[in-house]
Structure 1
Amino acid sequence: MTNKIVAIQGNHPSTLNPITDTSIFLANEIQDKYKIFYYEPKNLSIINGKVIAKGYFISFNYNSKKFFKIIKKQNLNLENCKFILIRQDPPFNLEYISTTYILDHLKKKVKIINDPTSIRNISEKLYSAKYKKFMPNTLFSQDLIEIKKIFSKNNKIIIKPIHSYSGNDILLLKKFDQKKIKKFIKIHDHIMIQSFLPKIEKGDKRVFIINGKVVGAISRIPKKGSYLSNMSKGAMPVNTKLTNKEMVISKIIAKDLKKENIFFSGIDFIDQKLNGDINVTSPTGLKTLFDLSNINLAKTFWKELKA
């Protein structure tokens, strides 16, 4: 019989911000019914054919200054879990890929969110190429000639690493700077090049999708002088509603992601245009939505998952 254990594969709890972190929010919602086991990706192994994680049982408490308490350290056979949540931050590097291959061994025995094969197959930015008609002018390339062409049609360009996260390493360029772009490509290989949407100053919209359903959204307004809407970069979250256009696009993507076996995801809009980030590795924002609106999508998450 499967034990009542939920395992979370994530960054060390000491690095998390309880005010905004979705992993803590999800764990807090379920910890009165399930034991929470926490481990870091580097501590995942296959030993004698079994998937073993070196970690600890843990509890979370929003009312305590130290918001987590390690109860018991243990090497756990993850077959004994009811659910496993893959929640570490990108970058989507070889360690991330290796953990998906390891967890693939458990898929027929334990429910894993999101499905390890699916998150390996869906590049958060490259997957959006199939939705180009909903996006600003976008190019994925290392080709300087092609990159220069997009500059000739736009006054300002955003360039992004394909496998980064949380607004890291994003550049706004007002002209074609070959030296700077070559250096960027040398570090990141293929990059995402996109026409700049000036209405970002009024905020983007993060849409939450659970089990193929569009379940909520928040807006994030960049701090003055910034073009980054990530809360980790100082953006301010506010309540929002989706326009009819945004809802139609969101439902199309939600339906596709359900077919891809993605249970929990987040997508972003700027000025009613999909900005090209299909967040499937460790979507966040549920705690912020709760604080803004008292809508608890952690309840929705676990209800849909257990159903």
Structure 2
Amino acid sequence: MNKIVAIQGNHPSKLNPVTDTSVFLAHEIQNRKYKIFYYDPKNLSVIHSKVIAKGFFIEFNYNKKKFFKILKKQSLELTLCKYILIRQDPPFNLEYISATYILDTIKDKVKIINNPTSIRNISEKLYSVKYQKFMPSTIFTQNIEEIKKFFKKHKKVILKPIHSFSGNDIHLLNTFNLKLIKKFIKQHDHIMCQKYLPKISKGDKRVFLINGKVCGAISRVPKKGSFLSNMSKGAKPINIKLTKLENKISKLIAKDLKKENIYFAGIDFIDQKLNGDINVTSPTGLKTLFDLSGINLARIFWKDLKL
């Protein structure tokens, strides 16, 4: 069998090796003598019933200033791989959905993480509807009157697009700004409205779920004056432990996601409340956890796949 792992992701030149989970996972499997084939989802095709990706074999090296080296550009039939990692960033748009449909056709011939059908079925925000008893007060809507009632009740409200990522396009409403809300709905259709939790200033907690198990967590503290805990928005990571309640909720979700054929996910807590982001498309944070604690979840990730 070919020892090839394909990664469907954003071009490596757009990645930050200091924090990037895709690079961390690739580097670990590369140490086990696997070849890494990298391609962009836009370069995925079905040719004569075969799924072909135009991309390149690549080598990662943390010790060099340029952390990657493209070895050979080529097209590859993806069933020749042992594993395919879906790692491109959202937005979860039609290109993303089309890529999952294409990969659906070979998921019985090669292990794909996460399962493309499952990624398509599990909306990263809307899936949390089943866990609302663990969340701050939250509604999903594009109805202005419902948003107005929600704001009147809670005074401070977070607006989130349902299909975005990395803290992009998130707004904190201190006053009811009708113009902003209308523009936001026009841009994103259904949106997520959530009661603002002031303890976000102390940080959130990102929990890593692998193969149905709770494997670790970090906290991310927003920079001064910000309410965004994403490291891409300047938040500072720190090492933490989960509370009993957070661990209980995390175990429940991990078990549910395994039943849904989701192998790797990240969930977030603010003030012991689930914030509603069930990250299944391209979860991040494993490299940061390793740097903070020495815990290498990339090893667990590949070990649980019986490599």
What letter matches 2:220 in structure 1? R
Report Cα offsets for 1:194-213 as digits up to 9, x if no partner. Answer: 00000000000000000000
Moved over 2 A (4+): none
Residue deviations 1:79-128 (CA, integer Å, cap 9, x gap): 10000000000000000000000000111100000000000000000000
- Count of residues paired in the alignment: 306
Q: TM-score, normalised by structure 1?
A: 0.99
Please, which runs of 5 or more residues in structure 1 have no aligned partner?
A: none
Give 1:31's aligned residue. Answer: 30
Corresponding residue for residue 85 of structure 2: 85
Alignment-derived partner of residue 43 in structure 1 = 43
Equivalences for 1:193-212 in 2 at 5 Å? 193-212=193-212
Aligned to 1:103: 103
1:17 aligns with 2:24: no
5 Å matches for 1:127-206?
127-206=127-206
Query: Percent of counterpart pairs with the same letter?
Result: 77
Match of 2:247 in 1: 247
TM superposition shift of 1:153: 1.1
Residues 21-42 of structure 1 show CA distances to partners (whole Å, capped at 9, x for unaligned) of 0000000001132100000011
What TM-score, normalized by structure 2, do the two folds share? Answer: 0.99
Q: CA–CA distance in 2 between the matches of 1:215 and 1:123?
A: 22
Q: Which amino acid aligns with 1:106?
A: I
Q: Are residue 56 (structure 1) and residue 56 (structure 2) matched? A: yes
Query: Deviations for 1:3-35, whole angstroms, at most 9, x for unmatched residues?
Result: 110000000000000000000000000113210
Deviation of 1:155 (Å) = 1.8
Per-residue deviation at 1:152?
Answer: 1.4
Counterpart of 1:52 in 2: which secondary structure? Answer: strand
- CA RMSD, Structure 1 to Structure 2 (Å): 0.6
State the one-letter code of the partner of 2:229. S
- Aligned residue for 1:40, secondary structure, equals strand
Tell me whether 1:288 sits opposite 2:252 in the alignment: no
Is 2:112 the counterpart of 1:112?
A: yes
> Which runs of no fewer than 5 residues in structure 2 stay unpaired?
none
Matches within 5 A, 1:265-284: 265-284=265-284
Quote how far apart the aligned CAs of 1:175 are: 2.0
Whole-angstrom CA distance in 2 between matches of 1:30 and 1:118: 24
Deviation string, structure 1 residues 169-196 (Cα, Å, up to 9, x no partner): 0000012221110111001110000000
